[in-house]
Chain A
Amino acid sequence: MSREWTTEDLQEWNQRIVELVQKFGLDPYSQEFEVCDYEQMLSYMVYSGMPSHYPHWSYGKGFEKLKTLYDYGLSGLPYEMVINSNPSIAYLMRDNSLALQVLTIAHVYAHNDFFKNNFTFRTTQTEYTIETFKAHANRVRHYIEDPSIGLEKVERVLDAAHALSLQCRRNLSIKKETEKEQKERKIDESRPRHDPHHAIHRRVEHVEPDLTKVPPYPEEDILLFVRDHNPHLAEWEKDLLTIVHEQAQYFIPQMETKIMNEGWASFWHKRILESLELPQNLHMEFIVRHTQVLCPTPGGLNPYHVGMKIWEDIEERWDKGRFGPEYDLCTASERSDWNIKTMQGRNKIFVVREVERDTSFLRRFLTEDLVRELKLFEYQTRGNDKVISRVADEENWRSIKDTLIQNVGTGTIPVIKVEDADYNSERTLYLKHAHDGRDLQLEYAEKTLQYLRQLWGHEVVLNTTVNGKETLLCVSENQLVFKPVQ
């Protein structure tokens, strides 16, 4: 395939896009584009776009899988890959056509704007992203090359750490308390509250807080907890746990805002390209590509499509003033013609992109009409099939919405917290799964617990609910025991 564009073309188009980006009020980091070929692109995708990343076989597996998917045409060619760093880095595939490059550039600026402005990304320290990943890579390579450690041992720790990496705090904008602060809080909480009517009330008995308990409050950062409380770990092992934890935390905001972020980027690339006055041939291709990206995948959920529809809906509603108690209380026929020309749409979407994450975004802005329009349905999995359990009608749309909210962001990761590091006074690690109606996949739970046992060095017990019964999964040396809780 011969190339029909030059870097100068890209720069020219970029210039025009940047003007629009600024006109629309988007506020991105500086942007770097790197033109790469197909294989390079696959590599970037596998290593999360990072120019430098530590080695692990799972990335090799990822590469093979991705390559198979693309080679067999099961998945379209990757258009865009952009990473959350300052300056932001994005990759453009050399073999893509000019129209596709223009679309991608516009798309990338919107992602970039989202990274810079959405609150979930505030903790990601974007100035240091590239350097952090490079430093991680160097440290891991250093351990691999160290003759007293070596690949096998490093891999063993990484395998285990990868299994647990997403068991970490989800809302990173809430400050994490140190153990000392937690203990102080515990003491504070145990003090009797000031009671203006203490003369007539019975005195509340003072309960001494149990300060010996580790952790004082259930702990969600499992890797960090193991790192800080297993004295038998070597320094390099602790360092590996830190590395894996930090990388997982870096990606949590991206998981938390998948629908918003993709929707936002699609919303803006459409806006921008429509204002670019593309020549006919480019415009035709843009429409084709745009439709491909935004095409709902029947049976699946296309975050580009769902996200963009919601953003468009928000803009329209706030432009027409379709919000607030007056609108909510009016009749259906009034609603459909409701337009009080508030014209707050643009303003509203910029506020929303700053302060929401997928769960809150859907909770606030996924309306009944949208559930219908997007043809959302709820399904149960039976073997290899999905069986529809609810379709979007008057009765069910709320449950569908609730289920969707459960399944976005980090909602697909079970909440499991460390409750006690010295269960039964045997240094057994006791964890509790906050069961929300969804059972754990037991084979996976067992294997993951075994990894945790390996890192912890002692028995591990997980309290969860299996088929409606509270159960303890006890993992000791290569053995799993189910104990019902009385």
Chain B
Amino acid sequence: MDTIFRPYHPSSGQRSDRSAGDRQRHRQKVREAIRNNIADIIAEESIIGKDKNRVIKVPIRGVKEYRFVYGENAPGVGQGGDGDLQPGQTIGQGKKGAQGQQAGDQAGVDYYETEVSLDELIEVMFEDLELPDLERKHLREIVTVDHLRQKGFRKKGIRVRLDKKRTARARVRRKKSAHRSGAANLHGERFPFHEDDLRYHHVVKEMRRESNAVVMAIMDTSGSMDTMKKYLARSFFFLLYQFLRTRYQNVEIVFIAHHTEAREVTEEEFFHKGESGGTFISSGYNKALEVINERYHPALWNVYAFHCSDGDNFESDNTAALNSARELAKISNLFGYGEIKPLGAGYYGSSMIQYFSQIQEPNFLTVQIQRKEDIWSAFKTFLAKDRANIKNEVNYE
């Protein structure tokens, strides 16, 4: 019997990272799983309104490894700790022995949480939508300085951009040629740098076309909008904002709350501050138009307007609302109206959806949201409309 000791070798790349490929593949599977459960995940309250760099935990049910295993009626045997045990006593889920067990012979242990950053999650979400890159009208693109890039070398420049390596090389070259021509003796004599040796990086400004988008989040904050309705609205705006953020460099969001009159508010106020009173939908639209004209000229901005309301509008305002809506639809890339009617709200008040059906603009649409599961589908419908519009635009050109 012999024994050999192999001392420690710091991982040669191949060895340490032997599981890297499999980990990455697993990661892909997890993403697929997230994609399949996206509707559920989106509906989780905890995600909405989180900071974009926050890492969130998402429960994954996807990547199970199935085998034939016994179900619940199979008894097991455990060891008691201190103290007496009584039949009927309940013991919390014991830790699963992690002593290098063979592949799981227990069902259900595959439910685990994985950490993804919100950005990653959103990326997955939008991969799911298979959206084309939104090519926008040229008019709405602004040329901006994106970053500086090195490009070539110059003999003149500022000191900080001096390229020492190239400078040294130029000197050597000059020295060699001087030697060949016999102008200088290589041995012994000093051969200093000359101004001609200096080389500087040349830097150019990269210009790129940048696109801007503004989201007009218009919400009804009248007395009839309860917490649940607001929560649904909020989820929707969150998605919209996140989506646009992936497509445009600059996304701004304008919060407009309205009851009988409209105000531009902060995000905090928008979602939390309760108001009361009746509803003039037109007031919200007019405020939006006003803001757009003041600050977000449609020539420079892609405007996405969305309005959430429970549809309880004062009858007298309906015509005005219709007109403003038409006008808003004209200057927006997309204008959507989401009517929030939670199931079990008891009564079905008046609905604006029917009334808005008179609007013929191709970039206007209405969706109905009844439960939180609807948000994702509503959102998809909304963007599908956007896509259709883009196709039309392309056709015109």
A positions within 8 Å CB-CB of B: 7, 10-11, 14, 18, 22, 28-37, 39-40, 42-43, 45-47, 55-61, 63-66, 68-69, 74-75, 78, 81, 87, 94, 151, 155, 162-164, 166-167, 251, 254-255, 262, 296-306, 374-382, 384-391, 400, 403-404, 407, 412-414, 416, 433, 437-445, 447-448, 451
- Is B25 located at the chain interface by the 8 A CB criterion? yes
B103: chain A residues at CB < 8 Å are: 58, 162, 166
User: Of B8, B66, B76, which one neighbours A444 at CB under 8 angstroms?
Assistant: B66
> Which of B3, B63, B90, B107 is A443 in contact with, Cβ under 8 Å?
B107
Contact of B97 among A302, A441, A443 (CB under 8 A): A302
Q: Select one of A7, A302, A444 contacting B79, CB under 8 A.
A: A302
B29 interfacial contact with A, CB 8 Å: yes
Pair count A-B, CB < 8 A = 266
Once the chains are docked, how many angstroms separate the CA of A391 from the CA of B85? 7
Quick one: given A32-B3, A34-B6, A298-B80, are A78 and B85 in contact (CB under 8 Å)? no
Cβ-neighbour of B68 out of A39, A78, A305, A448 (below 8 A): A448
- Tell me, rounded to whole Å, the shortest Cβ–Cβ distance linking B29 to chain A: 6
Query: Can you name 10 A-B residue pairings with CB atoms under 8 Å?
Result: A7-B7, A47-B19, A57-B63, A60-B25, A61-B65, A299-B79, A300-B79, A300-B95, A376-B79, A413-B67
How many Å lie between the Cα of A440 and that of B100 in the bound state?
25
How far, in whole Å, are A451 and B85 apart by their CA atoms in the complex? Answer: 42
Nearest CB of chain A from residue B337's CB, rounded to whole Å: 39
Across the A-B interface, give the 4 residue pairs with the lowest CB-CB distance, nearest first: A298-B81, A60-B22, A299-B94, A60-B26
Knowing A61-B26, A400-B77, the reply to whether A439 touches B70 (Cβ < 8 A) is yes
B74 near A: Cβ within 8 Å?
A: yes
> Which residues from chain A contact B29 at a C-beta distance below 8 Å?
57, 61
B90 contacts across to A, CB distance below 8 A? 382, 385-388
List A contacts of B316 (CB < 8 A): none
Interface of B is mostly: loop
From A391, A400, A416, name the one whose CB has the most chain B CB atoms within 10 angstroms: A391
| Interchain CB contact under 8 A, A251 and B102 | yes
By the criterion of a CB under 8 Å from any partner CB, how many residues of chain B are at the interface? 65
A298 touching B75 by the CB < 8 A rule? no
Taking the closest CB of chain A, its distance from the CB of B357, in whole angstroms, is 39
Q: Considering the chains assembled together, what is the distance between the CA atoms of A57 and B72 in angstroms? A: 28
Q: Quick check: A40 and B11 within 8 Å, CB to CB?
A: yes
Q: Are A298 and B87 in touch, CB under 8 angstroms?
A: no
Beta-carbon nearest neighbor of B1 in chain A:
A30
A60-B26, A163-B66, A390-B87 given; A378·B76 CB < 8 A: yes
Interface: B158 (CB within 8 A): no
Write the nearest CB–CB distance from B63 to chain A, whole angstroms: 6
- Chain B residues contacting A378 (CB-CB under 8 Å) are 75-77
A454 to chain B, nearest CB (A): 12
Asked if B3 and A167 make an inter-chain contact with CB atoms under 8 angstroms apart, the answer reads no
A16 CB to closest chain B CB (Å) equals: 12
Specify which chain B residues have a CB less than 8 angstroms from the CB of A387 in the assembled complex: 88-91
Decide: B105 and A412 in contact? CB cutoff 8 A.
Answer: yes
Contact A60 B2 (CB under 8 A): no
